[in-house]
Structure 1
Amino acid sequence: MLDQLGVSRVLERHMMPDWVKVSRAAGEEALDPDTGVLAPSSPLVVYEGRAGLYPQQEKIRSRGRTGAWVEEVRAGYKLILPLAAPELEDLDTVLVVKSVDEQARGRTYEVTTLGEVSSFPVIRTVWLEQHNRRTDG
């Protein structure tokens, strides 16, 4: 029998070299006492810690404007997280804080699907789309 926790620890150590911060938009607006204007609340940080970001291309076949079938390749990303990470939700924002790949630092991604589940979970997996790239350094 496989040791589920042991497998999980090995994967964390060897497949999650990055550090991410996951935020969720707060649904309510807050009153700014100085201006008297309603403003969006600060996002709620739901996870900050180890992760692994991996590219995942997806081939899609759809009807184009002319009605003919068109094949396109869409870039997507798979984010793996430790088992202890909370469940992420659609539209959560993932910021890459630290990464082995310098070009990944500062990029943000949006969660596009609910996390995958398994009968023998050893990691958490969610699918992402690149949202934007921070330009402030």
Structure 2
Amino acid sequence: MLDQSAIARFAERHLMSDRVQIRRGNGEDMLDPETGDLVPARPLIVYDDKGGLYAHQERIRGTGSGQDGAWVEEVRAGYRLLLPLDAPEVCEDDTVLVMEARDSQAVGRTYRVTAQGEVSSFPVLRTVWLEEHNRRPGAQ
């Protein structure tokens, strides 16, 4: 029988070499009592620890804009984020910020969570699907 915890430890050690921060915010403004101005609310940090970011190609099919109704296929970059099993549940529209990574070009990039994390009958890690959002100003 497979040792689920040993596989999970292996995945964490070899597939999750980056540090990511997952933020949750409602996008609403709040009143700054000192200035009386509306300012963006600070997001709630729900996770700040190891993760692994992996690219994949996402295929999208949709109807064309013409009268012939032809299907148009688009290929765009998508990403999956691997997290340990004990990471908190990630929600759609959470933001993932890469804090540290083996690939220096990944540091500072942000991603939007596009779906709730996957679940499995034999869980060894969490998989979350992302789309690239943007790069933090000044990130290299």
The TM-score bracket by the shorter chain reads: over 0.9
Aligned equivalents of 1:30, 1:135: Cα separation in 2: 24
Give 5+ residue unaligned stretches, structure 2.
Answer: none
Is 2:85 the counterpart of 1:83? yes
2:106 aligned partner = 104
TM-score (normalizing by structure 2): 0.91
1:36 is matched with: 36
Deviations 1:6-53 (A, max 9, x none): 110000000011110110004764321122233332100000111000
Give the counterpart letter for 1:43 in structure 2: P
Percent identity over the alignment? 61
- Specify the code of the residue in structure 2 equivalent to 1:59: R
1:84-130 superposed Cα distances (whole Å, 9 cap, x missing partner): 10010011000001111111111000000000000110000000000
> Aligned-residue CA RMSD in angstroms?
1.4
Alignment of 1:115-126 (within 5 A): 115-126=117-128
Q: How many residues are treated as equivalent by the alignment?
A: 137
Q: Counterparts of 2:79 and 2:92 in 1: how far apart (Å)?
A: 14
In structure 1, what is the equivalent of residue 20 of structure 2?
20
* AA aligned opposite 1:83: L
Structure 1 runs (4+) greater than 6 angstroms displaced? none
What TM-score results when the alignment is normalised by the length of structure 1? 0.93
